[in-house]
């Protein structure tokens, strides 16, 4: 417990130092980023800008950005690059195929929690044959760490897409950036929700999804792991379990919502990965514009930066629904 508290103190100190450093590099027209809320007429976009080395670019101005709505350039009415709180739901895959990766997934989720700022809020969940979410969004890191260490239900089949759908429902009433951080090998065996529906809903509801993906347990190794008979029936006879599952659906989910996709193994530096993730989330550019029309349709978004060699990650669509319209 003493080590955990020391890690928390160090993480807060480092986060504060990083915040001061970023503020010193802000552009002249920088301001505290706005909080975009549902029911407003401004379309909010959170953009991550990376250079050729994958490092964050933090000194851009409003005029460096171009936002296009269905190919038509828009006037950026809101701009900011200060530190803004985040609201995140951490979903850990605790199904049988994650058996050999579960400890690593828990460690990765803990690293996220330790790096939270005091104004951040999170909720912890797990999914396998059932979906569990901690009671409320909280800034209490000790409570979140306790949920990760003792509150995860271990099961056999996997409700991956159902878990994402249920978590989006939990995030629905909240304002600001709403983020799902998914720790999974990508397998799904018993969801009723479909991946295409999840993608459509995430795009329409402006939920940002980050995926930390692990290689599923090889069949040869699974034979050495004690499993209930139901797990043997579900997984040992399933050809999808013999190889890593396709990652394109998860990559597409992250790409379309402006999130990120990371592949993680026991040989990777988990600390470095989540330092980068939290720096990214806390130092995104906030852009806003007022749509030309509200037609209740999904519009394509394109965000570019007038600087060579940079990559922009941002949501790629929005639902043009008027603030007074019924959802």
> Looking at residue 266, what is its pLDDT?
82
Average pLDDT of the residues in 240-265:
79
16 token code pair: 């504060």
Q: Give me 134's structure tokens.
A: 């901690």
Q: Report, in this order, helix, strand and coil percent for the chain, each rounded to 5.
A: 35, 20, 45
The DSSP H or E segment spanning 10 is helix 2-24
* 296 vs 29, higher pLDDT: 296
* 38-48 confidence digits (pLDDT tens): 445 899 999 99
Token couple for 252:
């597409």
Q: What is the pLDDT confidence band of residue 149, given thresholds at 50, 70 and 90? A: very high
Where in the sequence is the domain holding 252, given as residue range(s)? 87-280
Q: Are strands 121-127 and 87-93 parallel, antiparallel or unpaired?
A: parallel
What backbone torsions phi and psi does residue 54 show, to the nearest 5 degrees?
A: 80, 10
Same domain, 165 and 236: yes
**Strand (E) positions, the chain?**
43-50, 65-69, 72-74, 78-80, 87-93, 121-127, 131-133, 178-184, 208-213, 261-263, 285-289, 298-305, 311-313, 317-319
Average pLDDT of the chain, as a whole number: 82
In this structure, the number of other CB atoms found within 10 A of the CB of residue 218 comes to 14
Residue 325 in this model has a pLDDT that exceeds 70: no
Q: Domain with 248 in it: what CATH number?
A: 3.40.50.410
**Residue 1 above 70 pLDDT?**
no
Residue 79 or residue 38, greater confidence: 79
Question: Is residue 12 over pLDDT 70?
Answer: no
223 domain residue, yes or no: yes
Tokens of 194: 């479909």
- Go through 24-39 and write b for each residue having 16 or more CB atoms within 10 A of its CB, e for each that does not: eebbeebeebbebebe
**Cα(134)–Cα(229) distance, rounded to whole angstroms?**
29
Question: Is 327 among the domain residues?
Answer: no
Specify whether 57 is located in the same domain as 127: no
Task: Specify whether 247 is located in the same domain as 164.
Answer: yes
Task: Please indicate, yes or no, if residue 32 is contained in any of the structural domains.
Answer: yes
Angle between helices 160-171 and 195-205 (to 10 degrees): 20
Could you count the other beta carbons within 10 Å of the beta carbon of residue 208? 24
Neighbours of 58 (CB within 10 A): 18
* Residue 326 covered by a domain: no
Average pLDDT, integer, range 150-171: 94
Residue 127 and residue 215 share a domain: yes
CA angle 55, 60, 65 (to 5 degrees): 110
Q: Tell me: do 139 and 18 sit in the same domain.
A: no
184/264 same-domain check? yes
Q: Are 320 and 296 in contact (CB under 8 A)?
A: yes
* pLDDT 10s digits, 51-69: 999 999 999 999 999 999 9
My answer on whether 287 and 274 are in the same domain is no
- The answer to whether the CB of 127 falls within 8 A of the CB of 187 is no
Q: Is residue 325 part of a domain?
A: no
Render pLDDT for 180-231 as a digit per residue (tens, 0 to 9). 999 999 989 999 999 999 999 999 999 999 999 997 655 444 444 443 333 3
User: Contacts for 25-29 with beta carbons within 8 Å, 24 or more apart?
Assistant: 25/58, 25/59, 26/58, 26/59, 26/81, 26/82, 27/59, 27/60, 27/61, 27/62, 27/81, 28/61, 29/61, 29/62, 29/79
Total domains in the chain come to 2
- Enumerate residues 6+ apart whose C-beta is below 8 A from 46: 177, 208, 258, 284, 285, 286, 287, 314, 315
DSSP label at 252?
H
Which of 141 and 243 is assigned the larger pLDDT? 141
- 93 in the same domain as 59: no
Whether 27 is in a domain gets the answer yes
The pLDDT value recorded for residue 265 is: 85
Highest mean pLDDT pick, 245-249, 296-300, 321-325: 296-300
Task: Note the Cα 118 to chain centre separation in Å.
Answer: 19
């Amino acid at each position: 417990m003493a080590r955990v508290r020391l890690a928390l103190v160090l993480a807060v100190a480092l986060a504060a130092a990083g915040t001061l450093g970023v503020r010193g590099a802000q552009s002249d027209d920088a301001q505290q980023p706005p909080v975009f809320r549902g029911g407003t007429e401004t379309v909010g976009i959170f953009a991550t800008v990376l250079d050729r080395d994958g490092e964050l670019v933090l000194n851009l101005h409003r005029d460096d950005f171009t936002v296009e709505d269905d190919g038509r350039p828009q006037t950026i009415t809101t701009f900011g690059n200060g530190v803004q709180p985040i609201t995140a739901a951490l979903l850990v895959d605790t199904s049988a195929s994650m058996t050999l990766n579960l400890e690593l997934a828990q460690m990765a989720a803990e690293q996220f929690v330790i790096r939270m700022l005091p104004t951040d809020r999170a909720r912890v969940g797990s999914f396998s044959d059932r979906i569990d979410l901690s009671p409320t969004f909280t800034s209490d890191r000790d409570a979140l760490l306790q949920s990760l260490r003792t509150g995860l239900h271990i099961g056999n089949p996997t409700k991956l897409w159902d878990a994402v759908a249920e978590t989006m429902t939990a995030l629905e009433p909240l304002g600001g950036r709403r983020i799902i951080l998914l720790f999974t090998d990508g397998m799904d065996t018993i969801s009723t929700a479909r991946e295409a529906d999840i993608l459509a809903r995430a795009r329409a509801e402006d939920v940002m999804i980050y995926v930390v993906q692990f290689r599923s347990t090889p069949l040869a190794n699974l034979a050495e792991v004690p499993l209930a008979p139901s797990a043997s029936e579900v997984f040992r006879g399933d050809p999808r379990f013999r190889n890593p599952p396709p990652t394109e659906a998860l990559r597409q989910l992250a790409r379309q919502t402006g999130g990120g996709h990371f592949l993680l193994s026991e040989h990777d530096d988990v600390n470095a990965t989540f330092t980068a993730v939290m720096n990214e989330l806390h130092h995104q550019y906030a852009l806003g514009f007022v749509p030309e029309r509200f037609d209740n349709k999904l519009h394509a978004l394109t965000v570019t930066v007038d600087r060579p060699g940079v990559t922009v990650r941002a949501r790629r669509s929005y639902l043009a629904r008027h603030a007074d319209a019924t959802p």
